[in-house]
A = this chain, B = another copy of it.
Amino acid sequence: MTKKKVAVIGATGIAGQQFLASLINHPMFEVTTLAASLRSAGKIYKDAITSDNGSLQWFCQGDPPSPFLKLKVENVLDINPKELDLIFTAVESDAAKEIEPRLAQSTPVISTASAFRGDQDVPIFIPGVNMEHEQLIPVQKLKRQWKGFISPVPNCTTTGLAMALKPIQTAFGIKKVIMTSMQACSGAGRSPGVIALDIMDNIIPYIPKEEEKVHFETKKILGKFSDNVIQPADFLISTTCTRVPVLDAHTEVVYASLRTKGSIDQVKAVLRSFGSEFVQMGFPSCPSKLIEVLEDPFRPQPRRDRDNGEGMTTTIGRVREDEALENGIKFVLTSHNTKMGAARGAILIAEYLAYKGYI
Could you tell me which A residues sit within 8 Å of B by CB distance? 53-56, 59, 61, 176-178, 180, 182, 185-186, 190, 192-206, 208, 215, 236-238, 240, 242, 244-247, 251, 253, 255, 295-304, 307, 317-318, 322-325, 328, 330, 332
Given A196-B198, A238-B325, A244-B245, 20 more pairs with CB closer than 8 A = A53-B208, A53-B298, A54-B296, A54-B297, A55-B298, A176-B324, A193-B197, A194-B195, A196-B245, A196-B247, A200-B200, A200-B201, A201-B303, A203-B301, A203-B302, A205-B253, A206-B298, A208-B297, A240-B332, A244-B244
Q: Do A215 and B323 have beta carbons less than 8 Å apart?
A: yes
Give CA–CA (A296, B204) in the complex, Å. Answer: 11
Cβ distance A19 to chain B, nearest Cβ, rounded Å = 18
Across the interface, which residues of B come within 8 angstroms of A180, CB to CB?
Answer: 180, 240, 253
Give CA–CA (A194, B61) in the complex, Å. Answer: 20
Of B176, B196, B203, B204, which is within 8 A of A185 by CB? B196
Of B53, B205, B330, which is within 8 A of A238 by CB? B330
Top 4 closest pairs, chain A to chain B, by CB = A192-B192, A238-B324, A180-B180, A202-B303
Given A53-B297, A178-B178, A196-B196 in contact, is the A206-B318 Cβ separation under 8 Å? yes
Given A195-B195, A323-B215 in contact, is the A318-B201 Cβ separation under 8 Å? no
Q: Do A185 and B200 have beta carbons less than 8 Å apart?
A: yes
Given A197-B59, A238-B330 in contact, is the A205-B318 Cβ separation under 8 Å? yes
Q: What would 26 A/B residue contacts be, using CB atoms closer than 8 Å? A: A59-B197, A176-B324, A178-B178, A180-B253, A182-B203, A185-B200, A186-B197, A193-B197, A194-B195, A194-B196, A194-B197, A195-B196, A196-B245, A196-B247, A201-B247, A201-B302, A202-B301, A204-B301, A205-B332, A236-B324, A237-B323, A238-B328, A238-B330, A240-B253, A242-B251, A245-B246
Give CA–CA (A267, B55) in the complex, Å. Answer: 21
Cβ distance A39 to chain B, nearest Cβ, rounded Å = 17
Given A53-B208, A194-B196, A206-B297 in contact, is the A323-B236 Cβ separation under 8 Å? yes
Across the interface, which residues of B come within 8 angstroms of A302, CB to CB?
Answer: 201-203
Across the interface, which residues of B come within 8 angstroms of A317, CB to CB?
Answer: 205
Q: Do B330 and A197 have beta carbons less than 8 Å apart?
A: no
Give CA–CA (A332, B211) in the complex, Å. Answer: 14
Cβ distance A217 to chain B, nearest Cβ, rounded Å = 15
Across the interface, which residues of B come within 8 angstroms of A295, CB to CB?
Answer: 54
Q: Do B296 and A201 have beta carbons less than 8 Å apart?
A: no
Give CA–CA (A317, B54) in the complex, Å. Answer: 13
Across the interface, which residues of B come within 8 angstroms of A190, CB to CB?
Answer: 195, 197
Given A295-B54, A324-B176 in contact, is the A200-B208 Cβ separation under 8 Å? no
Q: Which residue of B lies closest to A248 (CB)?
A: B201
Q: Which of A186, A242, A253 has the most CB of B within 10 A?
A: A253
Q: Do B296 and A55 have beta carbons less than 8 Å apart?
A: yes
Q: Which residue of B lies closest to A247 (CB)?
A: B201
Across the interface, which residues of B come within 8 angstroms of A194, CB to CB?
Answer: 195-197
Q: Do B238 and A322 have beta carbons less than 8 Å apart?
A: yes
Across the interface, which residues of B come within 8 angstroms of A303, CB to CB?
Answer: 200-202
Across the interface, which residues of B come within 8 angstroms of A61, CB to CB?
Answer: 307
